[in-house]
Amino acid sequence: MRTANKNVSAVRLVEDALKKAKEFADYNIFTYLNEKGALEKAREIDEKIAKGEEVGRLAGVPYALKDNFLSPEGETTASAHILQGFESPITATAVAKLEKEGAIMIGRTNLDAFAHGSSTENSYFGPTLNAYDKERVAGGSSGGSAVAVALDIVEFATGTDTGGSIRQPASFNGVYGLKPTYGCISRYGVVAMASSTDCIGFFTKSTEDMNLLMEVASGKDSKDLTTLDDYYNNIEEKEAKKVGIIKEFDNDSVDPEIREALKNKCELLRSKGYEIIELEMPALKYALAAYYIIVPAEVASNLSRYDGVRYGFRSEDSKDLNKLYANTRSEGYMPENKRRIMIGNFVLSSGFYDAYFLKAAKVRTLIVKEYEKAFESCDFLLTPVAPNPAFKLGEKVNDPVAMYLEDLMSVSLNLAGVPGLAIPAGKTKAGLPIGLQLVGPRRSDKNLIEFANVLKEDA
Partner 1 sequence: MEINCETIEHLADLSNFSVSTEESKALEKDLGEILKYISQLEAVDVEGVEPTYQVFEMENVWREDEILPQEALREDLLALTKEQKDNQIKVPKVL
Choice among 141, 145, 218, 412 that is catalytic: 141
CA distance 131 to 145: 11
Assess whether 165 carries a catalytic annotation: yes
The one-letter code for the residue type at 205 is K
**Identified binder of partner 1 from the candidate list 20, 43, 359, 427, rule CB under 8 A:** 359
From the list 8, 39, 90, 454, which residue makes contact with partner 1 (rule: CB under 8 A)?
Answer: 90
Q: Are 194 and 299 in contact (CB under 8 A)?
A: yes
Exposure string over 109-137, b if 16+ CB within 10 A, otherwise e: bbbbbbbbbbbbbbbbbebbbbbbbeebb
404 near partner 1 (CB under 8 A) = yes
Query: Please, what is the minimum distance in Å from the beta carbon of residue 313 to partner 1?
Result: 9
CA–CA separation, 50 and 213 (whole Å):
25
In sequence order, what are the residues at sequence separation of 6 or more whose Cβ sits closer than 8 angstroms to the Cβ of residue 322?
A: none
User: Under the criterion CB under 8 A, does residue 75 sit at the interface with partner 1?
Assistant: no
The answer to whether 184 and 228 have CB atoms below 8 angstroms apart is: yes
Stretch that binds partner 1, among 22-30, 41-49, 107-115, 292-300 (CB under 8 A): 292-300
Task: Report the residue number, 89 or 256, with the smaller CB distance to partner 1.
Answer: 89
Q: Binding to partner 1 by residue 356, rule CB under 8 A?
A: yes
Choice from 26, 51, 53, 222 touching partner 1 (CB under 8 A): 222
Q: Which stretch binds partner 1 (CB under 8 A): 203-211, 259-267, 396-404, 432-440?
A: 396-404
Stretch that binds partner 1, among 105-113, 138-146, 159-167, 355-363 (CB under 8 A): 355-363
Q: Which is nearer to partner 1, 298 or 379 (CB)?
A: 298
Under the binding rule (CB under 8 A), the answer on residue 400 touching partner 1 is: yes
Binding of partner 1 by 58 (CB under 8 A)? no
Contact 313, 325 (CB under 8 A): no
Report the alpha-carbon distance of residue 190 to residue 415 in Å, rounded: 19
Given a contact cutoff of 8 angstroms between Cβ atoms, the answer to whether 95 and 52 are in contact is no
Name which of 265 and 329 has its Cβ closer to partner 1: 329
Told to check if 363 binds partner 1 by CB under 8 A, we report yes
Query: How many residues make contact with partner 1 (CB under 8 A)?
Result: 69
188 residue type, one letter: Y
* Phi (first) and psi of residue 370, to 5 degrees: -65, -40
Angle (nearest 5°) at CA 445 between 231 and 447: 100
Residue positions counted in the chain = 459
Instruction: Confirm or reject binding of residue 86 to partner 1 (CB under 8 A).
Output: yes
d(CA 28, CA 124): 12
Secondary structure (DSSP) of 133-147? -TTBB--SSSHHHHH
Active site (annotated) includes residue 195? no
Outline where DSSP puts E strands in 34-103.
Answer: 62-66
> Residue 373 Cβ, how far from partner 1 at the closest point, in Å?
14
Cβ contacts of 93 within 8 Å, gap of 6 or more: 186, 188, 189, 221, 223, 224
Smallest distance, partner 1 to C-beta of residue 360, A: 6
Per-residue contact string for residues 162-201; x = within reach of partner 1 by CB under 8 A: --------------------xx------------x-----
Figure out which of the listed residues 25, 50, 277, 358 binds partner 1, where binding follows CB under 8 A. Answer: 358
99 Cα distance to chain centroid: 19
Told to check if 319 binds partner 1 by CB under 8 A, we report yes
The binder of partner 1 chosen from 84, 349, 377, 453 (CB under 8 A):
349
CA 221 to chain centre: 20
Task: Check if 142 is active-site.
Answer: no
Among 58, 166, 200, 360, binds partner 1 (CB under 8 A): 360
Which of 49, 65, 190, 290 contacts partner 1 by CB under 8 A? Answer: 290
Helices (H), 112-249: 143-150, 167-173, 207-217
- Closer residue to partner 1 (CB): 144 or 296: 296
Region near partner 1 per CB under 8 A, out of 102-110, 131-139, 280-288, 380-388: 280-288
Under the criterion CB under 8 A, does residue 301 sit at the interface with partner 1? no
Give one DSSP letter per residue of 360-372, joined into a string: HHHHHHHHHHHHH
Single out the residue of 40, 45, 39 nearest to residue 60, CA to CA. 45
Residues that bind partner 1 (CB under 8 A): 86-87, 89-91, 182-183, 196, 222, 225-226, 228, 283, 286, 288-290, 292-293, 300, 304, 307-312, 314, 318-321, 323-327, 329-330, 333, 335, 338-339, 341-343, 345-347, 349, 352, 355-356, 358-366, 368, 400-401, 404, 415-417
Active site residues: 66, 141, 165
